[in-house]
Structure 1
Amino acid sequence: MHQGIAFSFGHIRIHHAGRCAVVAFHGEIDIAAVVDVSCGLDAVTAIPRRPVVLDLTGVEFIDACGLGLLCRARRRVAARGGRLVLVCDRPRIWRLLRITGLDGAFTVTATLAEALDQAARPTGR
């Protein structure tokens, strides 16, 4: 994938901002959506040392399967020496991350610009 080219896989749109891959989710991220987007998200998270931003600003609902998808992406990016940042501006989604304790597992920002800045920082490896 090259900068300027965008790909859509069901509930996600993938594009690039510099070196950073941006995956913008939309709609409901439930078991059906997870099946729909897993291959696309796996392709993005397979590249070593890649900064990845998961943009949840278009998400209306996320269930346990969706949270599991986010955790899988975080593990895959970390295992390859990259950095993953979430964008979350919806109080309902933010509250779910906090209640489940995942707010401490992810770097979470309110805007895409903040997320891109965070993702571009060195990982320390």
Structure 2
Amino acid sequence: MQLIPRHDPYLVVGSTGGHTVVALRGELDLVLVRHLRPELDALVRESDALTVDIRGLTFCDATGLGLLAHCAGRMRRRGARWRLVCDQPRILRLIRLAALGDLLDPEAGPPEDPVVQSVPSPAEPGVTRPVS
């Protein structure tokens, strides 16, 4: 996994081969969506496979779900691989109520998943971004 230091407490990105892993932390609401959208759009354009790990989110509203749905839809239209890792009952319920389960296809993501585990938590120093 290639990483570059970055100073964003809400986002950590790592890349290996064509697989990119994004870990999000904090509250995925209108404010954070506006902050993250340009970076996520770039990752969606450039990645052959994108895993978005939202297990570190403390909140997600409809705007946050909209961003995730936008990313998933664009990845699938390109024929790229999309994976959403989420183990939070509240967010999973929101995904179900919004009828986005088929598009987002959330999975628990076992802790031993080496790709997801290789990306450090954004709360730690040395938050990262993929090497271009």
Please state which band the TM-score falls in when normalised by the shorter chain. 0.7 to 0.9
User: Offset at 1:47?
Assistant: 2.0
Superposition map of 1:80-99 within 5 A: 80-99=78-97
Q: Which moved more, 1:58-67 or 1:95-104?
A: 95-104
Aligned to 1:19: 18
Superposition map of 1:32-111 within 5 A: 32-47=31-46, 50-111=48-109
Equivalents in 2 of 1:10, 1:39: separation in Å? Answer: 16
Q: Secondary structure, in 3 states, of the residue corresponding to 1:45? A: helix
Equivalents in 1 of 2:55, 2:69: separation in Å? Answer: 17
User: Offset at 1:79?
Assistant: 2.2
TM score, norm. by length of structure 2:
0.75
User: Offset at 1:33?
Assistant: 0.2
Matched positions, count: 113
- Structure 1 contact 10–37 (Cα < 8 Å) conserved: no
TM score, norm. by length of structure 1:
0.79
Q: Secondary structure, in 3 states, of the residue corresponding to 2:71? A: helix
Equivalents in 1 of 2:89, 2:67: separation in Å? Answer: 20
Q: Which runs of 5+ in 2 are unaligned?
A: 117-132
- Structure 2 contact 68–104 (Cα < 8 Å) conserved: no
Quote the RMSD (CA, aligned, Å): 2.2
User: Offset at 1:11?
Assistant: 2.2
Which 4+ stretches in 1 moved above 3 angstroms? 6-10
